Structure 1
């Protein structure tokens, strides 16, 4: 997973994979069938393990505005960890790839759309709970926050520090402050 996260699908060779795993080519094929199958497993593992902060933040107590602030701050921290490649594996992966890899590209698009749907559901809950106005554009806000999170992942990959990402997140979170109603 870390190798794919750092180098991407096409930037990771078969020799890189068997070398880092310390296995033979035949063991690799017996275990994973193909590089593509292993990559798909790596993306799913990343989403489960490395992306847990995302759903935990959105499920946190304190209202919708606080949940999005927490999510954006958690993104800044996750994307700038010293013990992992920078950025978000899903945000930066396979946005451009060869036509032969269209299945992988679609899988990552689905992952990004799924995250946006989770954000939209949380915003709809905010409307239902009276934390946001009834006419709040939940789909538009979810798309906005998706763009911000993905952009933070790219910024981190480009070397942005945690403080810069936290500032970006703070600015983005302020969008909900104006819309949020006090309880």
Structure 2
């Protein structure tokens, strides 16, 4: 008589799946990879999460509400835009270079290129990245409203600059650039903000 399937912790399984997707990306992660990492049969994975895509989307939500929540926290909690952006970049480096986690940002690295079959996932993640860019621009707009930046500041270009740097830090970390080198780029990045703040003409 066959024994009952052993119980599994769904939250723990989701965390394991997150790390597999974070390391390998959506398209390169196979069901056999997930079976090995989660330690449960594919049928139980489908029963618990519905599909590989549904599991991936849930894993991204877990990342964004946990490790990846640093950017929203920095932008919302700091009293000035300058300290918010500097904190965001610094905490990005800390996260992206943790030795016990996959390197880089899960949202940036999981699906920059996909086959046509997975184009919906690629676009979904692209919208997540565009949303981050918008949140940076909105924080800079607040800085203009408060007088931290002059009224004529090109907040869209400055926001695009910091989004590019943020996402670039992920790529550099993924390529093995160390924490100290990445942290050393932040004062240079903040010089763009300082230049904008000084330009009162």
TM normalised by structure 2 equals 0.86
Match of 2:114 in 1: 97
**2 CA distance for matches of 1:59 and 1:90?**
20
Cα RMSD after superposing both structures: 1.2
Deviation by residue 1:73-126 (Cα, 9 ceiling, x = unmatched): 111111101121111111122111111001100110011011111101100000
Match of 1:175 in 2: 192
Q: Is the 8 A contact 1:72 1:173 kept in 2?
A: no
Higher relative contact order (Cα pairs below 8 Å, separated by 6+ residues): 1
**1 CA distance for matches of 2:131 and 2:140?**
14
**2 CA distance for matches of 1:60 and 1:37?**
32
Q: How big is the shift at 1:147? A: 0.7
Give the paired residue count. Answer: 181
TM normalised by structure 1 equals 0.94
Matches within 5 A, 1:10-49: 10-49=27-66
Q: Is the 8 A contact 1:58 1:122 kept in 2?
A: yes
**2 CA distance for matches of 1:25 and 1:92?**
25
Match of 1:165 in 2: 182
Q: Is the 8 A contact 1:46 1:89 kept in 2?
A: yes
| Structure exhibiting the larger radius of gyration computed from Cα positions | 2
Q: Is the 8 A contact 1:69 1:173 kept in 2?
A: yes
Match of 2:91 in 1: 74
